[in-house]
């Protein structure tokens, strides 16, 4: 790029990679992770699960379709996954200053600058991704004019930073669902509203056990699930009842912890739109969208719990279920945005369980 300022990406192992600045010309630190998704950067950058992370996009050209303008649906974004960019920084190979798309309102660089988020381009992202795969996700920083220290976001309660402060209501449908917002993507809300529900969105530490509801949903979110102590304690109470519970991503990890199991940090996580999972006990598999760095250790689950889905790349847990009660979760994202929507039917299965519960009361 003409007249672009020089910046560098520094990793905790001492690696320094020179590049050019786009977006905000500022320094930022975080955990360096990679996504192999070919498209969907507007959705990725606004996904709260990326909070505190410097995201490496492996697709060789980024920014060529720009960024769409904001549109609202039921008071939430129609396009983005939250109301702001959550990544700490962005790393790409080739950044396209010029963009072309019928719905584009601005460039990716201008959008990053609006939120004071730095980007670095001209990076050999293939080399960088191989390093992260071999050594694991590591701390890093994008350094502009002023150097800054490394920072491990997993030592912070990131969920508390991205969760809303108050209770919000959506829809007027027949089934009342409580959504525990640990950093939920707005497409999860859209998926529920398309299915005629009344949605009560509560903060991560809200005592939802005091509410009158038909089903409980646990959202995705950033960081280490063990930081969410109040959520786990409230969920343990909910597991003593029979009301249906559905969790996605971080919600799956919280369900595992509340059930008495353990979680662990993956070497470099799953962040892509093409992760294959298998429904356990069957020969049925699905291609899924994923974004997580932690997983449930199924060996630690109590006897009344089973693994529901298995990752066909590394064998890790992609969801759990209770053997007799209507509790289940997925580590992947059935709502996608971006990525395949092959497993969106799980929202319907959850609401079917809600109907059964209501009919049997």
The arithmetic mean of pLDDT across residues 305-309, rounded, is 99
User: Is residue 83 scored above 80 in pLDDT?
Assistant: yes
User: Is residue 33 scored above 90 in pLDDT?
Assistant: yes
Q: Is 12 an active-site residue?
A: no
Determine if residue 291 is labeled as part of a ligand binding site.
yes
Per-residue model confidence (pLDDT) at position 75:
86
Architecture of the domain whose range is 6-155: 3-Layer(bba) Sandwich (3.50)
The arithmetic mean of pLDDT across residues 165-184, rounded, is 97
The residues pairing with 310 across neighbouring beta strands, listed in sequence order, are 278, 317
Burial category of 209 from C-beta neighbours within 10 Å (exposed 0-12, middle 13-18, buried 19 and up): middle
Determine if residue 223 is labeled as part of a ligand binding site.
yes
Spatial contact of 176 and 212, defined as CB atoms under 8 Å apart:
yes
Annotated catalytic residue: which of 31, 249, 273, 322? 249
C-alpha 272/C-alpha 339 separation (Å) is 8
The CATH code of the domain at 158-359 is 3.40.50.880
Per-residue model confidence as pLDDT tens digits over 120-129: 999 999 999 9
Annotated catalytic residue: which of 86, 234, 292, 333? 333
Determine if residue 49 is labeled as part of a ligand binding site.
yes
User: Is residue 46 scored above 90 in pLDDT?
Assistant: yes
Locate the domains of the chain by residue range.
Answer: 6-155, 158-359
Determine if residue 293 is labeled as part of a ligand binding site.
yes
Which residue has better confidence, 196 or 73? 196
C-alpha 31/C-alpha 18 separation (Å) is 18
Q: Is 239 helix (H, G, I), strand (E, B) or coil?
A: coil
Annotated catalytic residue: which of 31, 43, 310, 335? 335
Per-residue model confidence (pLDDT) at position 64:
98
Determine if residue 294 is labeled as part of a ligand binding site.
yes
The number of beta carbons lying within 10 Å of the beta carbon of residue 333 is 28
Spatial contact of 21 and 132, defined as CB atoms under 8 Å apart:
no
Spatial contact of 344 and 188, defined as CB atoms under 8 Å apart:
no
CA 74 → CA 83, 128, 148, 171, 192, distances in Å?
14, 41, 41, 8, 12
Q: What is the pTM of this model?
A: 0.97
Percentage of residues in the chain having pLDDT higher than 70: 99
The arithmetic mean of pLDDT across residues 311-328, rounded, is 98
> CA 180: distance to chain centroid?
14
Tokens 């509790």 map to which residue? 327
C-alpha 219/C-alpha 107 separation (Å) is 30
Tokens 């930073």 map to which residue? 161
User: Is residue 310 scored above 90 in pLDDT?
Assistant: yes
Per-residue model confidence as pLDDT tens digits over 259-294: 999 999 999 999 999 999 999 999 999 999 999 999
User: Is residue 360 scored above 90 in pLDDT?
Assistant: no
Show Cβ contacts of residue 194 under 8 Å, excluding neighbours closer than 6 positions.
Answer: none
C-alpha 105/C-alpha 72 separation (Å) is 15
Tokens 């993507």 map to which residue? 185
The region, left, alpha or beta by phi > 0 then psi within -120 to 50, assigned to residue 350 is alpha
Show Cβ contacts of residue 205 under 8 Å, excluding neighbours closer than 6 positions.
Answer: 160, 163, 228, 230, 231
User: Is residue 223 scored above 80 in pLDDT?
Assistant: yes
Per-residue model confidence (pLDDT) at position 73:
81
Q: Is 249 an active-site residue?
A: yes
**Tokens coding 279:** 């429904």
């Amino acid at each position: 790029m003409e007249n672009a300022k020089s910046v560098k990406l520094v990793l905790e192992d001492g690696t320094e990679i020179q590049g050019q600045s786009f977006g905000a010309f500022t320094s930022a630190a975080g955990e360096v992770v990679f996504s192999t998704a070919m498209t969907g950067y507007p959705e990725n950058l606004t996904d709260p699960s990326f909070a505190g992370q410097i995201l490496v996009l492996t697709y060789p050209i980024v920014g060529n379709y720009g960024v769409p303008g904001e549109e609202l649906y039921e008071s939430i974004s129609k396009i983005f996954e939250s109301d702001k960019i959550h990544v700490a920084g962005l790393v790409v190979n080739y950044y396209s200053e010029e963009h072309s798309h019928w719905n584009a309102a601005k460039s990716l660089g201008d959008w990053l600058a609006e939120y004071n988020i730095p980007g670095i381009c001209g990076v050999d992202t293939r080399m960088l991704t191989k390093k992260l795969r071999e050594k694991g996700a590591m701390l890093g920083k994008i350094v502009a004019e002023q150097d800054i220290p490394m920072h491990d976001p997993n030592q912070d309660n990131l969920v508390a930073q991205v969760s809303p402060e108050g209770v919000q209501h959506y829809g007027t449908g027949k089934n009342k669902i409580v959504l525990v917002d640990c950093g939920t993507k707005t497409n999860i809300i859209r998926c529920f509203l398309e299915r005629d529900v009344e949605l009560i969105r509560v903060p991560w530490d809200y005592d939802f056990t005091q509410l009158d509801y038909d089903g409980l949903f646990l959202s995705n979110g950033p960081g280490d699930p063990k930081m969410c102590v109040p959520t786990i304690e409230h969920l343990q109470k909910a597991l003593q009842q029979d009301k249906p519970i559905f969790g996605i991503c971080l919600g799956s990890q919280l369900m595992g912890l509340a059930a008495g199991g353990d979680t662990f940090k993956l070497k470099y996580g799953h962040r892509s739109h093409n992760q294959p999972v298998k429904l356990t006990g069957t020969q049925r598999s699905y291609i899924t969208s994923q974004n997580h760095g932690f997983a449930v250790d199924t060996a630690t689950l109590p006897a009344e719990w089973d693994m529901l889905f298995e990752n066909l790349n590394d064998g890790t847990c992609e969801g759990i279920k209770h053997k007799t009660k209507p509790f289940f979760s997925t580590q992947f994202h059935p709502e996608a945005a971006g990525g395949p929507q092959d497993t969106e039917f799980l929202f319907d299965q959850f609401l079917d369980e809600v109907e059964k519960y209501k009919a049997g009361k």
